[in-house]
């Protein structure tokens, strides 16, 4: 059983501030915790129903394991539907080294947690080598991001910092961005080693990042009305562009 104090303590991790000072984040639900168990991340606290614990006898070393009712798990959960399992996990401590190889995704102020999670899932699928997040991106350990990533958060290397600093470290890599006035992505030259920058949902790229872009890409529209004011959702556009980078280097360039 979970004490009121424990419940209160675990709920503090719903807030970004606690996740940052304690360097821990929440992973919840059977699907996500099973993905977690496949990683080497250290689980600080695991709270699960008797039934879930029965079905998962070989657990890795956790600092604390509690059996709890669904109602108790609900009390510490960020999700609306009842869950069987909830975990508090230490953020990975190993520093990822920036590498300019492969397709790199640079996110300039992505704000919506659902979009961020979906983009991580896309990055995982298309084998993006690294994801760079600008300081004004939504925190990747936001529970909504973790959930929407469907486990991709455990697999995709994510780096944080000023995008310009990363760009300065790879002067030989072409920097691309989506732009309604850009070149047709279906016919553009797309090198295997590239940086693709995606901007904020409402405002697009920030002024300082715009200056760094070398190539602008456009996903052709086939609208019957011919209007071009509306754009694709940023995650959808990321998927189509990543698909093209990978297709060209798989099929066309061999």
Applying CB under 8 A, the residues found at the interface with a second copy are 114, 118, 121-122, 124-127, 150-152, 155, 186-187, 219-225, 230, 232-233, 235-236, 239-240, 243-244, 246-247, 250-251
Q: Output the smallest distance, CB 168 to a second copy, in A.
A: 26
Tokens 């309604």 identify what position? 180
| Best CA proximity match to 199, nearest among 227, 215, 171, 178 | 178
| Best CA proximity match to 244, nearest among 126, 80, 102 | 126
| 155 vs 210, beta carbon nearer a second copy | 155
Say how far apart CA 216 and CA 179 lie, in whole Å. 6
Q: Output the smallest distance, CB 108 to a second copy, in A.
A: 20
Task: Give the helix/strand (H/E) hosting 63.
Answer: strand 62-67
| 10 vs 113, beta carbon nearer a second copy | 113
Q: Output the smallest distance, CB 62 to a second copy, in A.
A: 23
| 73 vs 156, beta carbon nearer a second copy | 156
| 5 vs 81, beta carbon nearer a second copy | 81
Q: Output the smallest distance, CB 110 to a second copy, in A.
A: 15
Q: Output the smallest distance, CB 201 to a second copy, in A.
A: 11
| 171 vs 224, beta carbon nearer a second copy | 224
Residue 2 exposure: Cα atoms within 13 Å on the Cβ side: 27
| Best CA proximity match to 43, nearest among 29, 56, 58, 26 | 26
Q: Output the smallest distance, CB 211 to a second copy, in A.
A: 28
| 7 vs 188, beta carbon nearer a second copy | 188
| 18 vs 249, beta carbon nearer a second copy | 249
Contact assessment for residue 167 and residue 75, using Cβ atoms and an 8 Å cutoff:
no
Strand, helix or coil for residue 43:
strand
Q: Output the smallest distance, CB 24 to a second copy, in A.
A: 24
Could you tell me the strand order of the sheet in which 85-90 lies? 24-28, 85-90, 43-48, 62-67
Q: What distances in angstroms separate CA 158 from CA 18, 116, 141, 186, 211, one per listed residue?
A: 20, 12, 11, 28, 23
């Amino acid at each position: 059983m979970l004490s009121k104090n424990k419940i209160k303590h675990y709920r503090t991790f719903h807030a970004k501030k606690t996740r940052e000072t304690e360097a821990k984040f929440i992973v919840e639900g059977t699907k996500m915790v099973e993905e977690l168990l496949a990683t080497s991340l250290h689980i600080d606290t695991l709270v699960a129903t008797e039934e879930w614990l029965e079905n998962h006898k070989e657990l890795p070393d956790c600092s604390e394991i509690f059996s709890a009712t669904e109602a108790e798990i609900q009390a510490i959960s960020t999700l609306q539907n009842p869950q069987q399992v909830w975990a508090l996990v230490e953020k990975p401590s190993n520093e990822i080294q920036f590498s300019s190889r492969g397709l790199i995704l640079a996110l300039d102020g992505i704000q919506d947690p659902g979009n961020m999670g979906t983009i991580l899932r896309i990055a995982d699928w298309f084998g993006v080598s690294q994801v760079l997040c600008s300081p004004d991106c939504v925190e990747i350990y936001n529970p909504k991001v973790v959930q929407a990533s469907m486990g991709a958060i455990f697999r995709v290397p994510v780096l944080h910092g000023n995008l310009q600093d990363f760009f300065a470290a790879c002067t030989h890599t072409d920097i691309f961005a989506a732009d309604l006035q850009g070149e047709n992505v279906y016919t553009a030259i797309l090198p295997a080693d590239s940086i693709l920058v995606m901007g904020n949902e409402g405002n697009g790229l920030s002024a300082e990042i715009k200056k760094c872009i070398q190539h602008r890409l456009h996903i052709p529209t086939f609208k019957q009305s011919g209007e071009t004011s509306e754009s694709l959702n940023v995650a959808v556009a990321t998927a189509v562009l990543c698909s093209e980078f990978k297709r060209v280097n798989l099929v066309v360039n061999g």
